Amino acid sequence: MFALLREYADWLHLQWPAGEVERLPRVDDQFRTNVDGVYVVGDLAGVPLLKFSVDGGVRAVRDIVERSGPNGATGGDGAPPDDETPYDVVILGAGAAGMAAAREARRQGLSFCVLEARRRFATIKDFQKEKPIYTYPNDMTPAGDLQVSATVKEALVEELEAQTDDIPVRHAEAHRIDETADGLAVVTTDGEHVRAQNVVVAIGRSGNFRSLDVPGEDKDHVHHRLYDPTRCAGHDVVVIGGGDSATEAAISLTEAGANVTLSYRRDEFVRPKPENVERVYELKEDEDGDGSLELMMPTDVEEVRDESVRLSTEEGQTGVRADQVFAMIGREAPLDFFRRSGIELRNDWGEVPDSLREALSGLSWLKDLRWDRIAAFAAFFLFMAAVYSWKDGGWVGRLAESAGAFPFGWDPAAEGTGVIDVLLTSMQKPGFYYTLAYSAIVVIFGVKRIRRRKTPYIRVQTMTLMAIQVVPLFILPEIVLPWLAKNGLLPVGFLDALFPVSEYAVHGRQYWRAYGFILAWPLFIWNVFSSDPLWWWLAICFVQTFVLIPGMIYFWGKGAYCGWICSCGALAETLGDQHRDKMPHGEGWNKLNLAGQVIMVAAFLLLFLRIGGWVWPGSWADAMYQAGLYGEWMGLQLNYSWVVDVVMAGMIGYGVYFWLSGRFWCRFLCPLAALMHIYHRFSRFRILADKKKCISCNVCTSVCHQGIDVMSFAQQGKPMEDPECVRCSACVQSCPTGVLEFGQVDGDGQIVHRDALEASLARIQEQENGSAAPAEAA
């Protein structure tokens, strides 16, 4: 039984890759951070490519000019007019991004200063001798006029230096950025304060090498960079890693005549550029060269010894001779610099130890708490408390009545039939304000989303979500249905079947049941879990849950409902749009995806008990149904209606909105989503990937608010079929090299490119732009 459950869990959720998101500063489309006036560009903005670094540096400076304009005067050489005036912009780091920003600052007439810890273009100068340079994407022209066209390291350094030798660079290492009364101050490690209106952070990742965490790693013959491969000619060398740096190092060492062993923990290369992978395999087969290349995959490094490296293989441990060891397993962003400067990092919600550490040296950690979010959270609960207090005849209702607050001198006891009368009657109940607030948030943040993400897909999807939230989920039950009924425009039989009479309902009938037209069982349970069977609703619910939704999912995936119809999805894609990168990723969280299955099973058990109770009224099934849905256990409301509807959907779902993204409920807990995950496993929908274009930048994974490791699929060129996908299009739209697109596979698993909807939206984009940018096609 346990093995069967395990197999089911693997089939549904646990077989998918579960890579985590790299921690980088949170920046918006204009490279702004949460600290006013501070921008982060280059590698630290997410895409580790020269052209994107140059582009980001220039665009950040243009945004500064757009927002505030230059001071009006500079004192020559980029200096401000006098000692009292701060710089328009201080640029940290003289790499590709920083120098592109500096050139643009000069062109725009800003006063500026570049601070560099080591030397100009230090990262590029550290590349190995004669390293080939790939200027991806080939068809991209970065903003500004700094050219990157060279194809070899030495030529690239020459090209960049020739274009920037007239830009002054100060030797100083930035320690942190402080917010001051009149702007910002960059504090250097020497204690100098450089004042500025804006700061562009372009310090790359140099220096923060990931460690192997094994004994012997600190020995002198272990290196993290390769300068000159010819010095290793004739030596035994072990290279550790499986990305571009490691494969490029292995290639140049072998070509220089070294005997290279490449150790990588996976059994195939997924990260490096195809050119590098191809060359590695060529060299492995080549027996005529001076050097040799052996691949040891999958292997883990256990220990570095003086003349060898111990590796664990699938067969056990083995030793490999090594005069030199190159550990090329990547570099981390300078997270401490960002934390010291109060710059928010994505997926960095577990910072307690840092805050506590700071607390020991004073109470400055208090400023790091997100008071705005705490206030938003408190305001939400106060609002809900007020609404429920009104409902129970509490202080809000009494206050409104005693102040004569019912609008326009309207008498709630009168029974008018005009639209205004109906509206004012609806306004007597708290649910009206809750739905009004919900719909207003969806519309306001929906408009913002459309303005921010200018693709036809987003426009059509967001407008659909807004329209569904406003019309069938608000205007229909609050105004249209009661107005039609009061004016005798709907047959009584129809009303009795769908909206039974109730003495508690303000209009005398349960028009709220109209939510069931959109929200299907078991997300919205109340049209099925009613005291007497509501036959029409039972038929509608059956068709929705077991016919229409599976049909839609078969063609367009679970996102057809979650991303285009559902009101939870509407809030997540609008209010939650800018919090999507807060969804946690990784294996542990993927296991939590199964929580929804447990809730779905509970909903089905209740359904069977409900049917049993109808067939045999007063039986044990009836009693168990009542206890399961409404009962108290040990004095606590441990029943489905409270635990799922109130605690999980309401308190947890909304409570963690600004911390763990707006899709927490949708991903982990929603019982309807859990059912749709099963349907989705039979769907034709996929996100297709052009493996050759993928640069392993992790952007797609980091923007996925369903926690999907999209990059792992893309790196292998496999169609993405994780059932958690809600088709929001963030990964497709954000991919810098246009790797991803929505599509379908046919019954034999063969790719059928592009969904009809996306194809037509892409044509609209082409017409709007003149030509379609690959990354925006969806």
Ligand X SMILES: Cc1cc2nc3c(=O)[nH]c(=O)nc-3n(C[C@H](O)[C@H](O)[C@H](O)COP(=O)(O)OP(=O)(O)OC[C@H]3O[C@@H](n4cnc5c(N)ncnc54)[C@H](O)[C@@H]3O)c2cc1C
Q: Which stretch binds ligand SF4 (CB under 6 A): 284-292, 359-367, 502-510, 719-727?
A: 719-727
Q: Give dist(CA 328, CA 244) in Å, integer.
A: 9
| Cα separation values, 71 from 65, 80, 87, 115, 209, Å | 10, 8, 8, 20, 39
Task: Give the count of beta carbons closer than 10 Å to the beta carbon of residue 582.
Answer: 23
Tell whether omega for the bond before 137 is within 30 degrees of 0, i.e. cis: yes
DSSP 226: -
Please report, as residue ranges, which positions from 112 to 131 form the binding site for ligand X (by CB under 6 A). 115-118, 122-124, 127
Q: How far is the CB of 124 from ligand X (least distance, A)?
A: 6
Residues 6+ away with beta carbon under 8 Å from 696: 243, 244, 270, 271, 272, 711, 715
Residue (258 or 725) nearer to ligand SF4, CB: 725
Q: How far is the CB of 461 from ligand X (least distance, A)?
A: 32
Residues 6+ away with beta carbon under 8 Å from 194: 87, 90, 113, 115, 172, 185, 186, 188
Q: Is 255 in the site for ligand X (CB under 6 A)?
A: no
Among 38, 250, 609, 708, binds ligand SF4 (CB under 6 A): 708
Among 697, 761, 762, 777, binds ligand SF4 (CB under 6 A): 697
Q: Is 202 in the site for ligand SF4 (CB under 6 A)?
A: no
Q: How far is the CB of 26 from ligand X (least distance, A)?
A: 17
Please report, as residue ranges, which positions from 423 to 442 form the binding site for ligand SF4 (by CB under 6 A). none
Q: Is 49 in the site for ligand SF4 (CB under 6 A)?
A: no
Q: Is 25 in the site for ligand X (CB under 6 A)?
A: no
C-alpha 136, offset from chain centre:
24
Among 68, 206, 696, 716, binds ligand X (CB under 6 A): 206
Residue (560 or 711) nearer to ligand SF4, CB: 711
CA dihedral 424, 427, 433, 435 (to 10 degrees): -80
Residue (117 or 595) nearer to ligand X, CB: 117
Q: Is 644 in the site for ligand X (CB under 6 A)?
A: no
Cβ–Cβ under 8 Å, residues 229 and 253: yes
Q: How far is the CB of 43 from ligand X (least distance, A)?
A: 4
Q: Is 247 in the site for ligand X (CB under 6 A)?
A: no
Residue (429 or 684) nearer to ligand SF4, CB: 684
Task: Give the count of beta carbons closer than 10 Å to the beta carbon of residue 198.
Answer: 27
- Judged by beta carbon distances under 5 to 8 A according to partner kind, the member of ligand X, ligand SF4, none in contact with residue 695 is ligand SF4
Q: Is 458 in the site for ligand SF4 (CB under 6 A)?
A: no
Q: How far is the CB of 102 from ligand X (least distance, A)?
A: 11
**Counting Cβ atoms within 10 Å, is residue 451 exposed (0-12), middle (13-18) or buried (19+)?**
exposed
Please report, as residue ranges, which positions from 733 to 772 form the binding site for ligand SF4 (by CB under 6 A). 735, 737, 739-740
Q: Give dist(CA 3, CA 439) in Å, integer.
A: 45
Q: Which residues pair with 501 in a beta bridge?
A: 509
- Judged by beta carbon distances under 5 to 8 A according to partner kind, the member of ligand X, ligand SF4, none in contact with residue 117 is ligand X
Q: Is 714 in the site for ligand SF4 (CB under 6 A)?
A: yes
| Cα separation values, 2 from 6, 480, 618, Å | 6, 52, 35
Among 60, 226, 703, 762, binds ligand SF4 (CB under 6 A): 703
Number of residues that bind ligand SF4 (CB under 6 A): 26
Q: Give dist(CA 304, CA 211) in Å, integer.
A: 13
Q: Is 96 in the site for ligand X (CB under 6 A)?
A: yes
Measured at the CA of 448, the angle between CA 447 and CA 449, to 5 degrees, comes to 90
Q: Is 568 in the site for ligand SF4 (CB under 6 A)?
A: no
Q: Give dist(CA 585, CA 347) in Å, integer.
A: 9
Cβ–Cβ under 8 Å, residues 515 and 477: yes
Per-residue binder mask for ligand X (CB under 6 A), 681-700, x = binder: --------------------
Coil, helix or strand at residue 120: coil
Q: Is 97 in the site for ligand X (CB under 6 A)?
A: yes
Q: What are phi and psi of 320, to 5 degrees?
A: -125, 130
Q: Is 48 in the site for ligand X (CB under 6 A)?
A: yes
Q: Which residues pair with 296 in a beta bridge?
A: 263
Q: Is 514 in the site for ligand SF4 (CB under 6 A)?
A: no
Per-residue binder mask for ligand X (CB under 6 A), 158-177, x = binder: ---------------xx---
Please report, as residue ranges, which positions from 632 to 691 form the binding site for ligand SF4 (by CB under 6 A). 687
Q: How far is the CB of 774 from ligand X (least distance, A)?
A: 17
Residue (269 or 432) nearer to ligand SF4, CB: 269
Q: Give dist(CA 246, CA 331) in Å, integer.
A: 12
Q: In what order do the strands lie in the sheet with 308-313?
A: 300-304, 308-313, 316-321
- Judged by beta carbon distances under 5 to 8 A according to partner kind, the member of ligand X, ligand SF4, none in contact with residue 60 is none
Q: How far is the CB of 155 from ligand X (least distance, A)?
A: 12
Per-residue b or e along 655-666, where b marks 16 or more CB atoms closer than 10 Å to that residue's CB: ebbbebbbbbbb
Q: Can you give the binding site for ligand X, defined by CB under 6 A?
A: 42-43, 48-50, 53, 92-98, 115-118, 122-124, 127, 133-136, 173-174, 202-204, 206, 245
Q: Footprint of ligand SF4 on this chain (CB under 6 A)?
A: 687, 694-700, 703-704, 706, 708, 710-711, 714, 725-731, 735, 737, 739-740
